[in-house]
Amino acid sequence: MISLKTLPIPPDSQLRNLGWDWMLGQDTLPYLTNEVVTIKTAEADAYYEATNELFEMFVAAGQKIIDENRFAELGIPENLIDLIKLSWDDDRNIHLYGRFDLAGGIDGREIKLIEFNADTATCLPETAVVQYAHLKANGLNDSQQFNAVFETLTGQFEELLAINPDLQPTLLLSAMRDFPEDDTNVALLGEAAREAGFDIDFDFIDNVDFSAEEGIFWQNPKNGQFEKMDFWFKLVPWEAMAEEEPELVQILTEIVRKRLAVVLNPAYTLLFQSKYVLKILWELYPNHPLLLETDTKPLPNKPCVEKVLFGREGANTRILNADGSERQAVDGDYGDYPKIYQEYVEFPQDSAGHTYQAGVIYAGEACGLGFRRGGLILDNTAGFVGHVIE
């Protein structure tokens, strides 16, 4: 059973004191609770170690996919393969950050990988700032939280500058219009980049100009001038860009090939984002204690979860009983993608029957823990719950 602790003072005033007023937007705070999950130091350490080990396993899986030319199995669009290989083979294209979704880890349950949101992970502001502010507002010490997200992200941006000395420290961060949650995630990344020494700007992706010969440009509204940006972060899924903007993918391939800009997260993160990689991991590490059996067909005589290769926020997910009958399902917009089947594992629950999935932010190393709370299938209605180490 999940153990919860009530922290009665909300984080609002603390966020203002920190200068993070933009975190008080309508899309961020309403779904936060005044409860936090209590965990032990050993449990926090286990999340840290498991996530670091999992990332190394994903790197090995990525190399296997490239070596064996298994892109089609993963549902990788053909027009992205060159860019994936280019970014994979050049160590200056570092993976900035992602979020591992994990079952277990508390209440004596084994940690199990559910999936890795490697390309366009969210929950950054909640994990990095809001739960920290909630802790401080209630007079608790920040050592009582597994949370160094902001500092670790800043370190990633410092590393980017150090390994790309031939480029200018100009960073443009882009999301799609009308997704306020994405805007707050991008804003946090921008704050970390600014602290690391980048000159940063924000704009929606439809306002960015791309040239295969010259690079990435942004029109500064203050003076109308087009400015070259040597680093570009996009909170836009690679597979969506490949399907909807194939010409842009072709241009970006040339931009990366000619070292005109660094694109974050790199295209190779799609190898980790495709849920087919869960099957590759099982091939590489059969019966590994952190993994769940995964195949392209339902697992015989075992309850399992049917997932589409590029679904998000629980959409198009079905839980199947051992006899193949449907226990629960969530509709969505991703039903045309191929499917994989992952062994079902129960999430820890609280006394009210809510389930909890751990999310560990990874930015060069594991750096922060938060929990999503909801039903059997965690979808876009799930809440965020912070934690305290006791």
Residues 185/119, Cβ–Cβ less than 8 Å: no
State the burial class of residue 294 (Cβ atoms within 10 Å of its Cβ: 0-12, 13-18, 19+): buried
pLDDT score at 12: 78
Question: Within 13 Å of residue 159, how many CA atoms lie on the same side as its CB?
Answer: 16
pLDDT score at 13: 76
d(CA 119, CA 143): 29
Whole-model pTM over 0.75? yes
**Which residues in the chain land under pLDDT 70?**
20-32, 312, 380
pLDDT score at 23: 59
pLDDT score at 93: 97
pLDDT score at 138: 94
List, for residues 117-176, the tens digit of each pLDDT value.
999 998 899 899 989 999 999 999 989 999 999 999 999 999 999 999 999 999 999 998
Nearest-10 crossing angle of helices 81-89, 246-257: 30
pLDDT score at 24: 60
Instruction: Give CA angle at 261 (258, 264), nearest 5°.
Output: 125
ω into residue 69 within 30 of 0, thus cis? no
Tokens describing residue 370: 């938060």
Residues 346/281, Cβ–Cβ less than 8 Å: no
Residues 32/156, Cβ–Cβ less than 8 Å: no
d(CA 113, CA 129): 25
pLDDT score at 30: 46
What is the separation, in whole angstroms, between the first and last Cα of the chain? 16
Residues 299/321, Cβ–Cβ less than 8 Å: no
